[in-house]
Amino acid sequence: MKWMRRALCTLLCGCVLFSQAAALPEMGALKSKAAALYAADGTELYAYHADEPLQPASVTKIMTMLLIMEAVDSGRASLDDMVTGSAHAASMGGTQIWLKEGEQLTLDEMLKAIAVGSANDCAVAVAEHLAGSEAAFVEQMNARAKELGCTGTTFVNANGLDTDGQKTLTTAHDLALISVELLRHPKIIDYTSIWMDTIRNGAFGLANTNKMLRKYDGMIGLKTGYISEAGFCISAAAERDGLTLIAVVMAAPDKDARTADASQLLNYGFANFAAYTPDVSAACGDLPVVLGKQPTVGVACDDPGTLTVQKEQAAGMTVAFDRPDSIEAPVTKGEQIGTARVLDADGKTVRELALRAAADVERLGFLDLFGALCRAAGGGA
C-alpha cells in the first residue's frame, strides 16, 4: 500500500538522521507540554513528549481539511459544490461565520472559512456534506488517522470543540503525520497561507488565526487551535530553500509561548537540515538491446523524491547504480532493468530506486533476421 511505502521511506530517512544524531546541537527549553518537528517528507527531526495524548482544539481541522482535499482531488467533490448549512452546523459555538440554517456557500468558501477563520460551523457543514452526517465524517477521520499510523488519536467531531463531555485527544506525533499528509495536497496552501480575505461576496471578512504568517519567514500554514482545556496549539508549516518543515506545539500557556516554541522548532530545523534531491541522470542513459527491433531502449528511474539530511551530510551524498551492459529483447515498458542507490557519506544505502525500461522493444523475428543477413551479405559482395 502507498502509505506503507511512505512509512518505509520515512524509516530509511530516519536511519540516516539517527546515525548522525550525536552531532546535532541541543534544542532549547520549550514552554509547551508537547512538541514535534517533522520534515514534509515524514522525517521526524525532534520530539518532546510527542506521544502524550492532549487536546488539539481547532488543530483538529487539519484532518477535516485533509478529508476535504482528498475528496476534491479524487473527484468525489468539487470546490464549486454548494454546501448547505444545517441547524446542527449553525448551532456551533466558538469561532464561526454565523452560518444560518439553509444558507448555501460553495465548498471553496467553506474551506476558506475553515482554513483562515477556523469556522466551527463550516467544518460541521462540510462534514455533513461529504459524509451525510458529522458522525459518519468523524468515523472517516478516525479511520484515516489509523491508516496514517496515528496511535494516540480519537476524534469526536469535525472542529475540535468539546462535545457532551467528549474530548478529541491526539498527540504531537500524530498531528505531524496528519500535517505531512495534508501537505501532499499543494492546493491547501492556497487557503492556509491567506492573511485576509472575504466570503459572501465580500460581505464577511476573514482574518487568519495564524499570526505567524506575518511573523515568520516562509510560513505557509497550517492551523492554530485554542480552548481553555487544550491551551494554545499549532501545526505550523514553513518552507525555505526547498525544505518544508512542520512544527507542532501543544498546550502552550499563551499565544506568545506558542509562537516562540513553534519558531524555535522551525529555526532549529532550518539551521541544521537541508533538502537533498538525488541526481539520478547518470543512471538513465540509453541501454543497448540485443536482438531488438530498436537498437537501444531508454532507461527511466523511479522518482527519487527529496530527502531531509543534516546540512553537513548533504555534500557527502552520492548516487550509485547497477544495470547490465545490455538487455535482450523483448523489452516491456516499465520492467525493472537495474537499481539506483542513494548513499550517505559512509556509503550506506538510504534510498533504493528501480531503473525501468522507458519503452517497449519487440524482438526481431526470423524474417527480420533473414533480411538483415541478406542485406549484410549483399553489402559485402
Q: What would the pLDDT profile of 56-102 be if each residue is shown by its tens digit?
A: 999 999 999 999 999 999 999 999 999 999 999 999 989 999 999 99
Strands (E), the chain: 34-39, 44-48, 82-84, 104-106, 196-199, 204-207, 219-227, 231-240, 243-252, 273-276, 287-290, 296-297, 299-301, 307-310, 318-322, 327-328, 336-343, 349-357
Distance between CA atoms of residues 39 and 304, nearest Å: 16
- What pTM did the predictor assign? 0.85
Distance between CA atoms of residues 154 and 172, nearest Å: 13
DSSP 75: T
Give me 171's grid cell: 498527540
Q: Which amino acid is at 255?
A: K
DSSP character string of 131-190: HSSHHHHHHHHHHHHHHTT-SS-B--SSS---BTTB--BB-HHHHHHHHHHHTTSGGGHH
* H or E element at residue 12: helix 2-19
DSSP character string of 36-74: EEEETTS-EEEEESTTS-B--GGGGHHHHHHHHHHHHHT
Closest residue by Cα to residue 326 from 288, 293, 299, 377: 288
Predicted pLDDT at 368: 66
Cβ(273)–Cβ(266) below 8 Å: no
Predicted pLDDT at 2: 41
Q: Is 61 a catalytic residue?
A: yes
Could you list the mean pLDDT of each consecutive 10-residue stretch along the chain, which spans 381 residues? 42 44 77 98 96 97 98 98 97 95 98 97 98 98 98 96 88 98 98 97 96 97 96 98 97 98 98 94 93 94 92 91 95 96 92 95 80 67 44
Does the N-terminal peptide bond of residue 330 adopt cis geometry, omega within 30 degrees of 0? yes
Closest residue by Cα to residue 9 from 281, 278, 239: 278
Q: Which of 32, 33, 112, 118 is catalytic?
A: 118
Q: Which of 32, 33, 58, 167 is catalytic?
A: 58
- For 2, phi and psi rounded to 5 degrees? -60, -45
Tell me how many degrees the CA angle 174-176-177 measures, rounded to the nearest 5.
Answer: 65
Distance between CA atoms of residues 311 and 308, nearest Å: 9
Tell me the residue length of the chain. Answer: 381
Question: Is the sign of the CA dihedral 156, 161, 163, 166 positive or negative?
Answer: positive
Cβ(262)–Cβ(179) below 8 Å: no
Cβ(157)–Cβ(171) below 8 Å: no
Predicted pLDDT at 345: 87
Predicted pLDDT at 13: 45
pLDDT, one tens digit per residue, over 35-61 is: 999 999 999 999 999 999 999 999 999
Predicted pLDDT at 375: 72
Q: Which of 61, 112, 167, 223 is catalytic?
A: 61
Predicted pLDDT at 371: 67
